[in-house]
Structure formats: C-alpha cells, structure tokens
Amino acid sequence: TVGWVLQDPKGSIIFEPPVRVRSVEMNRTHAKSASRCPAVINMESRYFEIKCPFDLHLQFARDKDGKPVLQNMLGEASPIRSKKLREHIHIVDEVEWRYKDRPTIQMSLPYIFVADEPVYLTQLTPFMHYSRQPMPGTIFGGRFPVNIWPRPLQWAFEWHDVQKPLILKRGEPLFYVLFETTPQER
C-alpha cells in the first residue's frame, strides 16, 4: 500500500491527484486485444500519472550578461503569475548541468509518496501517451525507496534543443511514477 499527500494543502487547487494509467478507451471486445492481455494489465496497474498543473510556454535564453534565463512566452496571457512561476520552476545552476550545452530546469511539486514496507518509486517520462508536439529534450528519471526517503517530487527536464520552446499543457501527463516492491516469497 502506497499513500500520498500534498506538502502544501493549498496545492490541491492546481495539483491533481495521481491517476492510474489505464487503456480504458482501447478495444476490449476481442479476446486477443492487447488491452485484455494480463501482462499489459499488470504493467499498467503499477503506473500512475502526474498531470501538468498549469499551461507553460517557455523559451530558454541568455540575459545581457550571458546568464541562462527562462522567458514566459505566454506573457500577459499566462495562467500563472510570474512570481508563482518562479516559485515552481527554475534553471539549475549551469555548473550542475550534465552537458554544457543542455540546460536543466526543475519544477518543484508538492507530491510526497509514503509506505510502511519497502516500496521503490521510479519517476519516468509518460511513454504511453502520444504527444503531437514532442518536447525539445528529455525528462530526468529517478528511483528511490519511499518508505525510508519520503520527499517532495521534482520534475527535471534536460533541454536538448534550446532553439525550440518547451510547451506543456495543464492536465496532460507530466510524468509517470512506477511502484515496485521487493520480491515476495510464497
């Protein structure tokens, strides 16, 4: 059993509960349909989707001193105020980037997962969802035991093509979390 809470109770206004990844809209009428396959059903039962809390249209740039900055391309039409945006999204210090030409940004999230027994949480890209507009980079994954290291999640993004904007839509999958337990003896 895995539980979850929001670090900030006010966050429930914009941060939706995690939802199980399911292929309910797929064909289940035929006995050989992939959506009736026990292996597919078992895999989906372990994945939960964390949805994007707000619309974002960001562009990477450098200021007059050459320091990395994020530009909110939605401007006045942005559903999130600049101050709140800066509270949730920031550029990682340039010396900490894995590659000197690939900026890393992070989004602070209030989700904390907990368990009493050994359970590992793996955070990964939402690979079962199709996006018409692929992101200009990759999502950092991670794996840790929630029973001994409960902590707020972060979404980390490594920007490979800084000429392209990062566009995220509220309600679309931001990432998945996968839960694994240690093998049980019978």
- Condensed to tens digits (0 to 9), the pLDDT of residues 6-47 reads 988 777 778 999 998 876 566 666 666 677 777 887 888 889
Of residues 130 and 94, the one with the higher pLDDT is 94
Task: Give the CA distances from residue 48 to residues 33, 98, 120, 124, 125, in Å, rounded to whole numbers and listed in that order.
Answer: 22, 28, 13, 10, 11
- CA torsion 9-15-18-21 (nearest 10°) is 170
Distance CA 30, CA 34 (A): 9
**The token pair that represents 42 in the structure block:** 């078992």
CB neighbours (10 Å) of residue 79? 13
Distance CA 134, CA 132 (A): 6
Asked if residue 149 lies in contact with residue 112, where contact means CB atoms within 8 angstroms, the answer is no
pTM of structure: 0.87
